[in-house]
Structure 1
Amino acid sequence: MTCILCSKFINYQLKFTDIIFLRKIENRVCQKCLASFTKISDVHCKRCFKSGTKETCSDCKNWLKKGEEVKHQAIYKYDEAMREYFKMYKFVGHYQLRQVFAQEIKKVINTYKSYTVIPIPVSPERLEERGFCQVTAILEWCDIPYIQVFTKKDSEDQSRKNKVDRLEIEGLFSIVEGYELPTKVLLFDDIYTTGATINQARQILKKEGIKEIKSLSIAR
């Protein structure tokens, strides 16, 4: 078996039961490639997991001034290795890269057992362009159940915006009719930058009467 990031051989002992029950081989990334990604250490903002401080970061202070509570967790730092990963996954379209962080994502989401996962969607334009939604593709590979209650209007990709523009995204989402909304929600996205996207989704859910809303991203 070869690593899906560097194509080098991985010594994997395939079990007979794996073949019989058609089990997915989840760890298809070599240890060297996994080590290139930096997990967020204990030194992070207690509200959004921004690295470098144990105090409330400037982004979260801005949200608090607006009366918005931030309850976010992230797993990895958004560094050069992570930027390259998302470039290959989202923009080049290497669909198999949805598998890279599966084990870690499953482990973290399993700590939110009483929460219903709601992914942040991509716009119809972006979905047509890429051929898949990078967030739901990861959840589906991980066999994590979710409900898709949001639709997203077409807009410029977040990665092409500066910080100010990212904060100005009013009216980005709307609720799909017909869902019975849960009482506790875990919003899931790939990257958390300013928190504007997550906050807008949170605001919509709050208007629907949901009081317990937390969020999780792969990178921060």
Structure 2
Amino acid sequence: VRSAEVGSRISLLHWNIYAGPLRNKNLQPFLIQFFCFFISFSLFFSGFPLFAEHRLAYGPKEVGYVFAYTGLLGLIIQGGLLGKWVKRWGELSLVKWGLYSMVIGYLILATSFHLSTLLIAATVSAFGTAVLRPALTALISKQTPPEHQGLTLGLSQSMNSVAQIFAPILAGAMIEHAPLWTWAVVSAAIVGVAILFMKRAREAQARIESLT
């Protein structure tokens, strides 16, 4: 209980408290993947309205429709399909599929000049987002000792906060001062970093399963 209380009160300025989870070999790959996800998704979410305005001449109404579409897809996946997929394939497989889907979706988005390709990109990346976050959250929870659950939750929330602070600034700068495709390609590249940790994630899961 005390760990949960501490985790809920930790501020962004007390990163030394997070040293334990960050050094934990069973947690580290999943936390890195989680941080990469937060950054890439925050880049996408904050930069897409500007991208759509510059590339497709979309206004707030059209951008709202796209976000509503991706939100509906996420609701369908998480509300009716995800549980069945977890039972059949497991969280780690869903993490892999989610990461690759986000990369593919963002790369398609970088080359989108029409509604048709935009919808393909939105569908693929929305699938990745919908399966990745809950699957990673579940894996992190399984890798964390019960007494450290609150601390690890605080760490993941702090990662999200950091991403939401810096990603909009970076997205705006790239869209305004670099080729328009740069924003989407950088988002894909950050997810690519998370893919590089899949081997370590599988090894971490195998270590935990060997103890149960």
TM-score normalised by length of structure 1: 0.23
Q: Which has the higher contact order (CA 8 A, sep 6+)?
A: 2
Larger strand share, 1 or 2 = 1
TM-score normalised by length of structure 2: 0.23
Larger helix share, 1 or 2 = 2
